[in-house]
Amino acid sequence: MAEERKYLHIPGHVPIKEAALLLGVSDDSIQLYIKQKRLAAEKVDGRYMIPEQAIRDFQNNPPGRRRTKPTPWRMYSVGARVHALQIEIQVVPGKHTALQQKLLSISQEQQHLFSGTMQRYVFENQDNPDAIIIQLIWKNTELADETTFQHDLETFQSEFADLLDWQTARYTKEQAIIHT
């Protein structure tokens, strides 16, 4: 039986499987991006190795067509209103990579969906890389009851207890006045 090849390691490069994890796509997608020359890669010993910088620079094309003009503002008249909860929170020092991995896992496994939400965002604060902003958005017609919401929030907080400093988190409740 042939001896299995050792894992190929080139400083500053990652194999297809690791690139797929970093970008949150499948191995097949990475191979397609390489074939389409959308993602730089070098073939070494029969395997593709992708420069880490190419992964950082990669921008996946969003689906759909590009807007040609901005969406107009609208006023609420009757019906559903949009509510949001914004949480500003500090990343525990030295836990940025672990946080990114946890967020990728949650996305892939579709966890922590917060009952009734229509949108959920986790933003990285560009002025302060040690802070993130979590934004949860609901229509008032789909707001979860307080007990369900508190349970969802506590479950989320415990999942991120070692990655985010919940003691210093700032919570802001919002209601939309106009929208697009």
> Where residue 107 sits, what CATH number does that domain have?
3.30.70.100
CA neighbours within 13 Å on the CB side: how many for 27?
8
- Establish if 111 belongs to a structural domain: yes
Structural domain count, the chain: 2
Determine contact, residues 175/70, Cβ cutoff 8 Å. no
Q: For residue 7, what pLDDT band results from cuts at 50, 70 and 90?
A: low
Per-residue pLDDT tens over the stretch 121-140 = 999 988 998 999 999 999 88
Q: Vertex 163, ends 161 and 169: CA angle to 5°?
A: 70
Residues above pLDDT 90, as percent of the chain: 51
Q: Which of 56-65, 72-81, 112-121 has the lowest mean pLDDT?
A: 56-65
Determine contact, residues 58/51, Cβ cutoff 8 Å. no
- What does the pLDDT read at residue 167? 96
Query: Does residue 3 surpass a pLDDT of 60?
Result: no
Amino acid letter, residue 94: G
17 and 52 fall within a common domain: yes
This prediction has a pTM of: 0.64
Residues above pLDDT 70, as percent of the chain: 93
100 and 37 fall within a common domain: no
**CA–CA distance, 42 with 57 (Å, rounded to integer):** 16
Determine contact, residues 96/102, Cβ cutoff 8 Å. no
β-strand 131-139 against 42-44: which pairing, if any? Answer: unpaired
**Cross-strand pairs, 136:** 85, 120
Mean pLDDT of 57-68: 74
Please provide the average confidence, as pLDDT, over all residues in the chain: 88
49 and 84 fall within a common domain: no
Domain that holds residue 41: 13-57
- Establish if 107 belongs to a structural domain: yes
Most confident of 2-11, 157-166, 171-180: 157-166
- What does the pLDDT read at residue 80? 77
Q: For residue 63, what pLDDT band results from cuts at 50, 70 and 90?
A: low
As a residue count, the chain comes to 180
Per-residue pLDDT tens over the stretch 11-54 = 889 999 989 888 888 899 899 999 988 899 988 888 899 998 99
Spatial CA neighbour of 48 closest among 20, 71, 83, 22? 20
- What does the pLDDT read at residue 4? 39
- Establish if 70 belongs to a structural domain: no
Query: Does residue 143 surpass a pLDDT of 90?
Result: no
